[in-house]
Structure 1
C-alpha cells in the first residue's frame, strides 16, 4: 500500500522546494506546485479570481489523493488557502478567522474585545475622502500617528505622519497604489461572512493608529485542534533612526517575563479569534521605558524569513509546522538541536531615492563568501540594469539588495561576521538619467 502523501504548495519555488526536501518524514511526501511562483512572488498585480480558478482546475485534474494544500506567503496566497482547503476537504483555519487577523480593522476590533490595554488607539478612514484627516482627529488620534492600508503587504504603503503635509503626501501615494492590493483583497472578502461594521470598511480603506514602538519581536506559533502553541520568539532589529529592518535574530534576547506575557496574550487572542489548525506569527513591541507590551499585528502563516533561523538553531525549518498541520498532525518542532546557538537574517540595504544597478556580486563571489562563513546563505535580490524603484515589496525608505542568513555562537559574533562579509559584497550603481 502506498502511504505517500500529496502536498500541494501554492507558488512553490525552487528555494522552498529545496527546504521542504529536508523536513522530517519527507520520504512519505510528494510536493506539487499550484500556481506558478512568479504569479505570486514577482508581481504586484494579483487576479485572485483567476488564480482560484486556475488552482481549482489544477487540483481537480490531479488523479491521486489531495492530502494537504499549504502556502508560505502572505497575500495573496494566505487568503486563498482557506477557500481552496474548504473546496477540497483539507485542513485549514476558516476564512473568517483568517480575515480576523489579516483585515487590519477587523483584527483590531476583535483584539480590543479581549486585550484592550495591549493595543494602540486606532480608526479606519477612507483615503479618497478629502475630510479624512478631520475624521481621524475626531476619533481621538493626533500627530504623530501611523497610517497603512487595511490590507498591506510587508511595510509597503506604511507611513509615519507628523504633520498635515506628511498626511497629504501619504494620501497621494495611497490613492495611486492602494488598488493593487485592495481590488484583489475585496475579491476575497466576497467569499466571507462579514459583520456590517466590517463589511463597510473594504480593501480601499486605511488605518490610522497611535504610534507604538520599542523592542520588536515575532512569536511563531500554531493552533492544533484548539490548542495554541508558541514555539519560538524572533527579534526584529531595525537600522538606527529608520523603520527599515536590519536583521531578524533567534532566539530572542527579551527578558523571560516579557516573553511569557507575550505567549499568554497570543494564546488569549488566537483562541478568541477562533483560529485553528494553521500556523501564525504575531508581532509585538516591548516599550522598555514604560514596561508596556503592544500587539502590532497577526500574520496567518509562518515567516519564510525565519525558516533558516529555526533550522540553524533548533534543527529543522519551521516549514515542518505548516506541513504537519496541513496533514492534520500535531507539529513536533525540536528545540536547540541545530548547529548554532544563535542565527540571524540580515537585510543588506541602500538608502537611495533611486538608482540603476551596474554591478552585483557574481555567483562565484557569493559561493566563496558562503564558504568563508560556514552556514551562511546569500540571496541577491537585484540584477544588473535594474532600477531599484522597480523592486517589489520594498518599504518606503530603502531598498534591500541582498538577504543574508548566518549562524554564530552569540550576537556579537553574528554582527562581527556580518560586517566582515558585507565589506566584501560589491554592488555598484549609476544615477538615473532623465
Structure 2
C-alpha cells in the first residue's frame, strides 16, 4: 500500500485538481483544499481573517502536513509563506514575495541589475494627481498591487488620465488594503513605507511583442523552465493566447532567460516558482520586463503537459515538499500548445452558452482541444470578478498542435462551433469599456 503524503492546496478548484492528479507520482499524494476561491479571489479580501481560518484548519488536522502550496495570485502568494513559516515547511521568504508583488518596489529592485526599464513613478491619488516628472503620454496607470490587469488603464491624454485616476481611487483598496497587512509585517525601505499598498504607479508604455519566462528557484539556484509567447487581440492590450514554446528568435529567448536569472537573484526569491512578463522587439533585440510574479501560472499547466509531458504544478509540489523540481522537456504528444482566451469586447447579458454535449462533440472532432466556459447563462459579463479593463472572457480554449499554423486552424474551427447568444446592453456615453 502506498504511503500517501497530505498536501494542502489553497483555493483548490476542480480544474487544477485534475492537473495535480497528472503530476508524476500523484498516487503518493492526498490533496486537501484550504480556503475557497470566492473568499480568496472575489470582493474584499479579509486576509487576516483568512490567515487565522487557515491556521485553525491546519492545526485541527489529524495527521502530518507534508506541504502547503498555491497557484493563485494574492492573497494566496502571501498566505503560503506565512502558513509555511508557522508549520515549519519550505517556502519563499515573505519579503521577497512582496518585492515582486509591489509594482513600484519591484521596479526599484529591477533597476539595480537591469539597465533597460520603462520610465516609472508614483501618481499622488490624495492630492492633485499629475504625471510624474519626465513622463509623457501614452502611459499605463495601475495600482502598485493588483492582478489580472484589474484597474490597469492605457491613457493618452489628460481626460483619460483623470478618468483612470478616479476609477483607481475607487477600487484600489480591494487588493491594496489587504496587501498592506502583508507590508506591515516587513521592515520596509522608507520609500515603500511612505506610499504603502494603495498607491498608483505610472509607467511608460512599452512596445513590441509580449512574451514570458517561467521557472523556479531551488536552494538558491534559478532555473528557467521555458519561454512562452503572449499574443494579444489586434489593436488591444487583451490576451488572445499564450503559447509554448516561444516562437521568438533564440537570441531573444536567451536574453529573457539571462534577465530572469539576474532579477530573481537580486530580489532573493528562493524555494518558489516565478513567471516574468516581457515586451520584446525582435528587430532591435530590446527585451524589457513588464512585471514579475512570484508564482507559476496555472494557465501554462496544460501547455507544459502537452509539450514537455509534465504540468508545471509538478514544480510547485516538489518545492513545497523540499525536493528538486527538475522538469522533463520534449516528452509530450505535441510540438506546440496554447491557451486561448475567447472574449467579447462589449458588455451584455448571456442568454445562451454552449451545452455540455456541444462541447464534448467539439473536443471529440478536433483532437487536442479542451474548452472551459468562463461565463454562464443569465450572467451579466461586467459582473464577473477580476476582469481586465477592456474585455470580458467567455471561454478558455486549450489547443495542442504540431505547428503554429495548425494551432490557429484548430482554434478558429472551435470558436466557429461555439454557440453563444447575448442580449446587448446599451453603453452610456463615456463608459470606460
TM-score bin (small chain): over 0.9
Q: Deviations over 1:295-353 (max 9, x none)?
A: 1110011101100000111111000000000000111211010011110111111111x
Note if 1:429 corresponds to 2:422: yes
Correspondence for 1:128? 126
In the TM superposition, structure 1's runs of 4+ consecutive aligned residues that sit over 3 Å from their partners are none
Correspondence for 1:31? 31
Q: Retained in 2: the 8 A contact 1:222–1:277?
A: yes
Note if 1:228 corresponds to 2:222: yes
Note if 1:119 corresponds to 2:112: no
Deviation at 1:3, TM superposition (A): 4.2
In 1, Cα distance between equivalents of 2:252 and 2:43 = 37
Superposition CA RMSD, Å: 1.4
Aligned length: 427
- Classify the secondary structure of the residue corresponding to 1:84: helix
In 2, Cα distance between equivalents of 1:114 and 1:137 = 23
Structure 1, unpaired ranges of 5+ = none
Correspondence for 1:238? 232
Q: Retained in 1: the 8 A contact 2:123–2:132?
A: no
Deviation at 1:184, TM superposition (A): 1.1
Correspondence for 1:417? 410
Task: Tell me the TM-score normalised to structure 2 length.
Answer: 0.96
- Classify the secondary structure of the residue corresponding to 2:270: coil
Correspondence for 1:184? 178
Deviation at 1:214, TM superposition (A): 1.0
Deviation at 1:2, TM superposition (A): 7.3
Q: Retained in 1: the 8 A contact 2:124–2:200?
A: yes
Correspondence for 1:160? 154
Alpha-carbon spacing, 1:433–1:239, altered in 2? closer, same or farther (3 Å) = closer
Note if 1:399 corresponds to 2:392: yes
More divergent stretch after superposition (171-180 vs 230-239): 171-180
Q: How does 1:207-226 map to 2 (within 5 A)?
A: 207-226=201-220
Correspondence for 1:309? 303
More divergent stretch after superposition (355-364 vs 182-191): 182-191
Q: Retained in 1: the 8 A contact 2:350–2:422?
A: yes
Note if 1:379 corresponds to 2:372: yes
Task: Tell me the TM-score normalised to structure 1 length.
Answer: 0.96
Correspondence for 1:54? 53
Deviation at 1:40, TM superposition (A): 2.3
Alpha-carbon spacing, 1:30–1:148, altered in 2? closer, same or farther (3 Å) = same
Correspondence for 1:206? 200
Q: Retained in 1: the 8 A contact 2:2–2:28?
A: no
Deviation at 1:420, TM superposition (A): 1.0
Q: Retained in 2: the 8 A contact 1:249–1:344?
A: yes
Q: Retained in 2: the 8 A contact 1:126–1:204?
A: no
In 2, Cα distance between equivalents of 1:334 and 1:376 = 23
Correspondence for 2:431? none
In 2, Cα distance between equivalents of 1:274 and 1:195 = 15
Q: How does 1:11-410 map to 2 (within 5 A)?
A: 11-41=11-41, 43-115=42-114, 117-130=115-128, 132-133=129-130, 136-138=131-133, 140-352=134-346, 354-410=347-403
- Classify the secondary structure of the residue corresponding to 1:114: coil
Alpha-carbon spacing, 1:277–1:137, altered in 2? closer, same or farther (3 Å) = closer
Deviation at 1:15, TM superposition (A): 1.3
Q: Retained in 2: the 8 A contact 1:238–1:245?
A: yes
